[in-house]
Structure 1
Amino acid sequence: MSGAGGAESSQYGFVGVRGRGYRPEQVEAAAAKLSGERDEAWERAARLTVLAKEMEEEVERLREAVANLAPQTYETLGKRAQYLLELAEEEDTAVRGAALADAQAEADAARAAADEARDDAQAHSDEVRGKAEEYAQRRIAAGQAEADDIRVSARRDVKEMRGEALAALREMRERTDAHLADQAKEHAERIEEADREAAEQVAASEAWEAGAVAEAEERLSEAKRVLGETEEEARHGQEDAEAAAAELLAQARARAERIERETESILSGHEEEREEMRSHMEHVRASLATLTGKASAEAE
């Protein structure tokens, strides 16, 4: 299992770094051996502790059994038999006492052995822990030194890269400013040209509108003249005048409608001036209607 900066962690929690200290496999083997010895010591201490407890229980059971025995008098026997029995009881008591003492001694010895094994296991565990901590401190110191070297090298590389990046950024900014200046100049020229073309189109449109209005007024004058002639001719001769007036009025209306259509067709491409021209044509139409109405009334 790998950690930060390329360090490796063993199954005993040791962090290894490359380049300094003992070889990791040697340390792992030594730690495994010490761990096995520690486990065996703990197991031996546990077995001795169980044995001592069992022997203590056996001694206590024997004590209780002896205490529960009723005293034997053997009064019915003879004096010699009683004497022999007393000797046997004394010997039994001595043997029983010796057995109890031996059992107690063995229990004490087992307890002492268990305590000693436990103390040995604890001492061995402390030794293993101390060696492991010492090894870990050495590895940490070595890793810190290597990390410091890497940090210094990284800072130096970052400083160099920052300088290169700033130089590239400065060059890019200069190229961008020059490009923007060229674009601004080009845009200004395009705007100037567009303004000039727009002014020319406005001037041409105004000239065309002036010509269209003049032509419309000229046609209106022509229509008025025709209507005047029609009115003059309508005064001479009743029947011929009515027929001629009707024909002339029809021609005048057709001509006025044609003029209106042509004028509206001419003005259809100019939306902004359409309202003004429509108003003017309404005036022309009203004038024609007035004239044609007057001519019809006079013809009747």
Structure 2
Amino acid sequence: MDKRQHMPNHVINFYKLLFADMIKNKKMYLLPIIVIGLTFFKNAQLQGSVPINMWDLVYGILYNPYYQLFLFLLLYIFIVRDICDDGPLTISILLKLNKRTSWLWAKWIVLFLTSSLYTLIFFTIVIGLPMLLYGFDKTWSLAAHDLWHGVLTPYIAPLPGCAFLFMRYYLSILFISVVYLLIYLIANKFKHVKATLTVLIIIFMNYLFQLSFLVTYSPFIYLNNDYIAIITHVDNGLDALMKLNLALLSSLILILLLTRWFIRRAEWGET
């Protein structure tokens, strides 16, 4: 029997409402506009470096920690805020949900889908537009060693490097999402203010502290895309990259479990 037959209409309506809000969120449409403009701006900066190929433009954006921390993640905070916020219509449905876990699952699903869509839009533009401008290439350009990402070129090929950057962008945005939701859930007053400040502190920590400090003392909250530079410092660079991603993934899972525990505790308290 279809599980949806056992799902109350108000639960389905709650999911539909959240999905509709995600699609209609105008902030989502700011991302492609900003990234397209940034790509052309970066391309103009690279024109003095000859000969370049698509990867110089791709890595000029993806490997820049300012773009990742203060554009990609910072813009997404405003989208997460809208997802976590419960308007009057949502509250009317919440009164019929009875269980807070239904609210939590809906938020998790929408955050996951929105984070996935947001990251895919970003990477599609950042990779697709340079490919249209320069054509596809499997190797680094002759000018790559003179650019910011040149330190990576002896250690990793462009495509695997791009895959590791995708992992970092995707895990970092999921991490930001679940941290925001957790703080929003447990805060009594000024929920959005406290959640935003917590996320901003984490982002600025990733900007202020160097790679070696974060890897040694706080790999579980290390979001910075500069993590890929660890391949230049250790012998088993690819293994080190995977371990750093697993560390971030483990902290993400822990936050999900904490959020679930707070929801369950609230339900037990009500009963």
Q: TM-score, normalised by structure 2?
A: 0.27
Structure with higher Rg: it is 1
Quick check: which one's helix share is greater? 1
- So what's the TM-score if we normalise by structure 1? 0.25
Relative contact order, CA 8 A, sep 6+: which one is greater? 2
